[in-house]
Structure 1
Amino acid sequence: MADTKEKMPLVRQIFTIPNMMGYFRIILIPFIVWRYLTAETIVDYRVAALIIGVSGITDFLDGFIARKLNMVTELGKALDPIADKLTQGAIVLSLSFRFKWMIPLVVLFVIKEGFMGIMGIIFLKKGMMLDGAKWFGKVCTAVLYVVMFILILFPEIPIAAANSMIIVCIALMLLSFGMYIPVFYKMWKEVH
């Protein structure tokens, strides 16, 4: 089965249903940012939240379809996390214009994802790849998405509640970052 995936022509890899969903999620990013940053009414915020919801559903479906229909590709393995991180980064940055506690989260996000990206490139050059997101990374991402969705869906949320949720995200991101370091260290020892 792995042989058929490797022999799939590049054109077919580019245009698989899951990869098309990944491209679609990237295309949605400017619409999410624009709708949120220009929002003037509750309906505008709800539309931004709806677009995020569509992006999230598409994110779930692309992985599900890739596995069920045997459409897992190397391109898709790279595209999915890129679409995730671009979406998360754009939303966190957009929210930082309204919620001051988002600024440390933006900084931490850039540091963590920069570290993950650099390590990913280093190991890719050595023929290794992180075998998917770890459970702690998935929990961090899920909580981040839920918090971002709530903050956009309910723009009149009390600032204390918003700050509490953002602080939880910061704590989980620090924990996830800290737990990824030994994973990469172990990979490093395997190649050296």
Structure 2
Amino acid sequence: MSGNETGQAQVSDRVLTVPNLLSFSRLLLVPVFLAFLVQGQDAAALIVLVISSVSDFLDGYIARRFNQMSRLGQLLDPAADRLYIFAAIIGLAWRDLVPWWIVGLIVGRDVFLLVLGVILANYGYGPLPVHQLGKVATFALFLGLPLIMLGLAVPAIAVFSQPIAWAITLWGAFLYWWAGAIYLIETVRAIRLARASLPRQSDTLEP
């Protein structure tokens, strides 16, 4: 067994790896995806989204299979996921196909997590580990939003796909905030532990 005797993947500081290049390509396609969506070219936007999803699968597979996991990749991958979600809801809202409160609900949750991250950093903590519920919520949004787009690209199936798409999207948004509540609880717990570990100040003045 080479590289890692414990069987756990090594995470390196390398930048120029095949998975990272694939992640960069996903990021470069975000504005292309958004432009197609805003212009009403739903079929083209779906094609870009499929290409991005395939590259997402490939970069994860290659990173694990060939031990090319990196810290940069761990940042790029979730960043690309969020940007595609933001691009999808903003593009659809721009065309009045989804209400803007959905945009505020989803974007607001990530702004909320950003604030929690700043608070944790002030106490010397890094970002909280991704909760399984957050992964499920992201998956639901990644499934629901493209289904909405699919109904737009193929109107013949919209009567069937749209109710399902909206149910999944709204459920994903609910889970998104549920996960946010869990992150808030974990942040409060971390702050309490940090404060408890601080030395108590003396009530008397030092001579």
Same fold (TM over 0.5): yes
Instruction: Tell me if the contact between 2:128 and 2:183 (Cα under 8 Å) persists in the aligned partners.
Output: no
> Cα deviation per residue 1:59-84 (whole Å; 9 max; x = unaligned)?
23322322222222221121212111
The one-letter code matched in structure 2 to 1:58 is S
Alignment RMSD, CA only?
Answer: 2.6
Instruction: Provide the secondary structure at the position in 2 that maps to 1:56.
Output: helix
**In structure 2, distance between residues paired with 1:15 and 1:123:** 30
Alignment match of 1:129 (pick from 108, 127, 130) = 127
Instruction: Tell me if the contact between 1:29 and 1:90 (Cα under 8 Å) persists in the aligned partners.
Output: yes
The one-letter code matched in structure 1 to 2:149 is I
Structure 2 residues not aligned, in runs of 5+: 196-207
Alignment match of 2:185 (pick from 140, 159, 182) = 182
Could you state the TM-score of these two structures normalised by the residue count of structure 1? 0.79
* Counterpart in the other structure of 2:18: 17
Larger CA Rg, structure 1 vs 2: 2
Instruction: Tell me if the contact between 1:18 and 1:61 (Cα under 8 Å) persists in the aligned partners.
Output: yes
**In structure 2, distance between residues paired with 1:106 and 1:84:** 15
The one-letter code matched in structure 1 to 2:103 is V
* Counterpart in the other structure of 1:32: 33
The one-letter code matched in structure 2 to 1:86 is L
Instruction: Tell me if the contact between 1:32 and 1:51 (Cα under 8 Å) persists in the aligned partners.
Output: yes
Instruction: Tell me if the contact between 1:101 and 1:167 (Cα under 8 Å) persists in the aligned partners.
Output: no
Instruction: Provide the secondary structure at the position in 1 that maps to 2:94.
Output: coil
Instruction: Tell me if the contact between 1:101 and 1:163 (Cα under 8 Å) persists in the aligned partners.
Output: no
Change in Cα spacing, 1:119 to 1:61, as seen in structure 2 (3 Å) is: farther
Instruction: Tell me if the contact between 2:143 and 2:168 (Cα under 8 Å) persists in the aligned partners.
Output: no
Alignment match of 1:74 (pick from 71, 77, 94) = 71
Instruction: Tell me if the contact between 1:92 and 1:102 (Cα under 8 Å) persists in the aligned partners.
Output: no
User: Does the alignment pair 1:169 with 2:172?
Assistant: yes
